[in-house]
Amino acid sequence: MTTAAAPEMSRIGWIGLGKMGLPICERLASHGFTVTALARNTDGQERAGRAGLRNASDIRGVVDGAEIVASAVSDDAALLDIVFTAGGLKETLNARQIFVETSTVSPDASRRVAEAMSAIGVDYVRSPVSGSTALAAQGTLTAVLSGPPKSIERLSGFYQAFTRMTFLVGEAEEARYLKLVLNTLVGGTSALLAEALAMGCKGGLGAAAMMDVIGQSAVASPLLQYKRDTVAKGTYEPAFTVQQIMKDFDIIADVSRRDHCPMPLVAQIRQQYEAAFAAGCGDLDFFVLVREAARHAGLLQKG
């Protein structure tokens, strides 16, 4: 790929080099940004080295000299840790910088971060991303944004590096809610597909043939197309694990309780993932529900 001209806001500090953070950082570097990254574990540090990213040893090293500081972390606890720990973002960011947070976290945790950023005069952009690791590598993720519109306008070059489209949905926690809406549908798709395919297999159909027809039907979706080979081959190498979708469904359930929004299907689907986890599938792709439904229907031999 040809390196683009350096953008006006060209210095980025990045925290978190997991499955999404690393390919996003690689895209940013290829588009002329200078990226200094903090990996929070040994695997991430090794990935950063292989990708040729600048390595920081602590949060201050990420923040110093950056115009944009961004994070992609695993959960609420990780986000609150990088913000509120001694030497964390609350102590090191300044009002000239923008904090962009791309993770799937709860609105409550995000509100706490917003209050902390407001106290130090830092503009805070909630920016969860939707898409696969492959789409991240291709630079075609979707980002839903909420935060100060003027700061978001300044981030156009930043988002051009790794997204296909962005949606500005509000100035507070709206982006957090919309990401939970998306992940509700993502997690539910696997559960419903699993039961439907098990019924089809009982009638003598093969998974590959069914996925081909589904992919050209009224219920076709980019997600189902992306998972076509995973389901057809019965291989469940993780792009997004059962444990990760369980975490997201726990957030969704907590929000539904707090907001008094009944979501009975979410509770039932969460239990399907719990059963898959109990069967030893926690580290497999969340579409392993297809295999588990086949097993429960007596279509697979035990062992």
Instruction: Report pLDDT digits (tens) over 19-29.
Output: 899 999 999 99
Q: Which residues contact 121 (CB under 8 A, 6 or more apart)?
A: 94, 95
Structure confidence by residue, pLDDT tens digits, 144-157? 999 999 999 999 99
Task: Note the pLDDT of residue 1.
Answer: 38
* pLDDT number for residue 262: 98
Which of 240, 231, 154 shows the shortest CA–CA distance to 194? 231
Q: Which residues contact 166 (CB under 8 A, 6 or more apart)?
A: 142, 143, 144, 145, 159
Q: What is the dihedral of CA 72, 268, 231, 227, to 10 degrees?
A: -40
- Mean pLDDT confidence for 262-286: 98
Classify residue 16 as left (phi > 0), alpha (psi -120 to 50) or beta.
left
- 141 three-class SS: strand
- The token duo for 26 is 């690689």
Tell me how many degrees the CA angle 20-24-145 measures, rounded to the nearest 5: 85
The reported pLDDT for the residue numbered 175 is 98
pLDDT at 303 over 50: no
Please tell me the distance from the alpha carbon of residue 68 to that of residue 151, in angstroms, as a whole number.
10
CATH class of 178-296: mainly alpha
Specify the DSSP class assigned to residue 285: B
Query: What is the reported pLDDT for 3?
Result: 46
Instruction: Read off the tokens for 249.
Output: 């469904």
Domain boundaries, the chain: 11-171, 178-296
Tell me what pLDDT residue 301 has: 62
Model confidence over 89-136: pLDDT tens digits? 999 999 999 999 999 999 999 999 999 999 999 999 999 999 988 899
- pLDDT category of residue 39 using cuts at 50, 70 and 90: confident
Give backbone dihedrals phi and psi of 110, rounded to 5 degrees, phi first: -65, -35
* Sequence-ordered strand ranges (E) for 17-110: 34-38, 54-55, 68-71, 98-101
Q: What are phi and psi of 22, to 5 degrees?
A: -65, -55
Mean pLDDT of 226-235: 95
Question: How far is Cα 278 from Cα 74, in angstroms, rounded to an integer?
Answer: 21
What average pLDDT does this structure show over 266-285?
98
Q: Cα dihedral sign for 188, 190, 191, 197?
A: positive
Q: pLDDT, tens digit, for every residue of 159-175?
A: 999 999 999 999 999 99
Give the pLDDT band of residue 7 (cuts 50, 70, 90): low
- Collapsing DSSP states into helix, strand and coil, what is residue 157? helix
Q: Quick check: 291 and 300 in contact, CB under 8 A?
A: yes
> For the residues 173-186, what does the mean pLDDT come to?
98
Band of the pLDDT at 2, cuts 50, 70, 90?
very low
Instruction: Give the chain's end-to-end CA distance (angstroms, integer).
Output: 46
Across the chain, mean pLDDT equals 94
DSSP-based three-state secondary structure for 48 = helix
Distance CA 259, CA 194 (A): 30
Greater confidence (169 vs 6) lies with 169
Instruction: Measure the CA–CA gap between 168 and 92, rounded to whole angstroms.
Output: 27
Per-residue CA distances from 155 to 103, 117, 158, 265 (Å)? 17, 18, 5, 37
Asked whether 72 and 66 are in contact (CB, 8 A), the reply is no
Q: What's the CATH code, domain 11-171?
A: 3.40.50.720
Query: What integer pLDDT is reported at residue 62 of this predicted model?
Result: 96
Q: Give dist(CA 60, CA 91) in Å, integer.
A: 9
Parallel, antiparallel, or unpaired: how do β-strands 11-15 and 34-38 relate? parallel
Mean pLDDT value across residues 6-14: 79
pLDDT in tens, 195-224: 999 999 999 999 999 999 999 999 999 999
